[in-house]
Structure 1
Amino acid sequence: MTAAVEVEAPQIIDGLSADDYHADRTSISSTGLRALLAPGCPAQFKYDRDNPQAPKREFDLGHAAHKLVLGEGPDFEIIDFPDYKKVAAQRLRDEAYEAGLVPLLTKEHDMVQAMAAAVRQHPVAGPLFTPDGGVAEQSLFWTDPRTGVRCRCRPDWMPHRQENGRLVVVDYKTAKAVDPAALAKAVYDHGYHAQAAFYLDGVKALGLHGDQEPAFVFVFQSKTAPYLVHLVELDFPALALGAARNERALRIYAECARTGVWHGFNDRITYLPLPPWAEKKDHEEYA
């Protein structure tokens, strides 16, 4: 007989800072679960969790766009230089990071303003992000009943659910390209289907969805002019595949936490073939 899993009550925390949310060690997020699976592994996940990385420049535009679209997130500091070649610009950038601000060159600030304007003008995304029409970045905590693992998620935006209406969980992401083929690849490569399934589990665990099945909608926006916006809702097979990945990762996390062993890829020698396209590529190059 399987032992009963102790389930801690679900919880919504308003006003929890992003830093405190990410620093929580009593629960695991969707990002953490995805890091446990290939191409990652538990050992790398634990190291990265215990050794947080410095801010990455490639995330600055996304953070600033989030601030303008959602009204939540770190403030930004405008760096009045065309680039970071000069020492003075580098110093201002580093000071901004130390103060918890997102540094933006003048041209980058103009860019994120245009991006936010494009979202507001979109016939669906604009009304979806009405400032008083929802809640940004609530922190949700619940316990997975199968493994006893404490979970957390932080939806970018949840519009207020009308009476007898469907709850929509919204995630805003910037991307290089937002055509359907590019987005399908990005969703799979980055595990966004697992993120969607995980967040839906969270809102259902907290009973926020009412009598209807909740929806998860991605608002993707291109980082190049004219900053096109593309709203996406994943189909059932994609969500089912994401849920299966989450279940595997939760079981791995539960076992690692129980034993204290955070394993790498393999303790034995791996018999490694070349990719299936390698032979064809060599024949084409040297024919």
Structure 2
Amino acid sequence: MTAVALIDAPGVYDIPYDAYHGDPVEAGSLSSSGARKLMPPSCPAKFKLWLEEGQAPSHEFDIGHAAHKLVLGAGPELRVIEASDWRTKAAKEQRDEAHAEGAVPLLEHEFEKVAAMAAALKAHPVASTLLSPDRGKAEQTVVWRDEEFGVWRRALLDHLPHAVSGRRMIVADYKTTNSGAPGDVPRAMHGYGYHQQLDWYLAGVKALGLHGDREPAGVLIFQEKTKPYLVSIFQPNQQAMDIAHTRNRKALDIYRHCTTTNEWPGYGNDVMPLSLPGWAEWEHFDAEERGDFTITTPKGVPA
């Protein structure tokens, strides 16, 4: 991990990716990822384990990190492994060595794919403008202290726009995905908490007064990981952002309680009621109405 001086004051910091994820805040801080791990379907016990052991490397994350590097021009080093797959001992050793040194390992054909993704995004007129280095700086860490809970918070923004008076600040977050189709993105946003992440980023921007005199906005830029590497851009509606804000405030409350008491509960000790999912119940009731469960009396058997 890259060594950096511990942060003890609110502000914007340009620090290495691995230093950010190691928590550079002297008093300890909560990130958006951490906030989501505190809340259902996760729990504080899983959050604490994640803090202690970190996130295990995954190939899916490697592709996303590599795309961020080529699109944004910032982030971990990319290390191309001269192999066609990961099956050989040599390739696996080089992959593990790259991960241990904070780099992102890619096979040759994977690097070519990520480079094609970056080219497709830069050809998109809106996405390329939102992420342009002329408009702001990539991979910026913002640190602030929450006034209500007294908790230090941090965020690593894919792109932090320059503050310009009189113009609305738009914070764009770049995501690689299997599908950026309008019908699929809402489920992904709910499942991964992308709206909560945007609310977290905007809270930092506002806490540090980076937005000037107009309310900032957040947008999500999705890019598919298969040809033709389509790009789609969404702005979560107010209801989604209100839900995100409520969940983030609850996560801060949980974090404050757990750090104060040093208690990190799991799912609880009580016996909980268990029911089928709503869709399964409706499916059964519909089948009953169709007569699918009508019992017929075999011949010779008294009714």
TM-score by length of 2: 0.87
2 CA distance for matches of 1:194 and 1:139? 17
1:274 positional shift: 2.3
Q: 1:81-115 CA distances to partner (integer Å, 9 max, x unpaired)?
A: 22112222222222222232111111111110000
Map of 1:193 onto structure 2: 195
Alignment of 1:129-278 (within 5 A): 129-278=131-280
Report the AA paired with residue 58 of structure 1.
E
Structure 1, unpaired ranges of 5+ = 1-8
Report the AA paired with residue 141 of structure 1.
V
CA radius of gyration, larger in: 2
Cα contact 2:219–2:234 (8 A) shared by 1: yes
Report the AA paired with residue 16 of structure 1.
I
1:15 positional shift: 2.4
* Root mean square deviation, CA, Å: 2.0
Q: 1:127 aligns with which of 115, 129, 136?
A: 129
2 CA distance for matches of 1:130 and 1:120? 9
Q: 1:210-267 CA distances to partner (integer Å, 9 max, x unpaired)?
A: 1100011111100111000111111111111100111111111111111111111111
Asked if 1:112 corresponds to 2:114, the answer is yes
Cα contact 2:164–2:212 (8 A) shared by 1: no
1:142 positional shift: 1.2
Asked if 1:49 corresponds to 2:51, the answer is yes
Map of 2:67 onto structure 1: 65
Q: 1:91 aligns with which of 90, 93, 96?
A: 93
1:282 positional shift: 6.8
Identity %: 45
Judged with a 3 Å threshold, the aligned counterparts in structure 2 of structure 1 residues 45 and 208 are, in CA distance, closer, same or farther, namely same
Say which is worse superposed, 32-41 or 163-172, in terms of deviation.
163-172
Cα contact 1:139–1:155 (8 A) shared by 2: yes
Map of 2:22 onto structure 1: 23
Map of 1:5 onto structure 2: none
Map of 1:12 onto structure 2: 11
Moved over 6 A (4+): none
Name the count of aligned residue pairs. Answer: 279
Cα contact 1:10–1:205 (8 A) shared by 2: no
Report the AA paired with residue 22 of structure 2.
A
TM-score by length of 1: 0.91
2 CA distance for matches of 1:158 and 1:140? 9
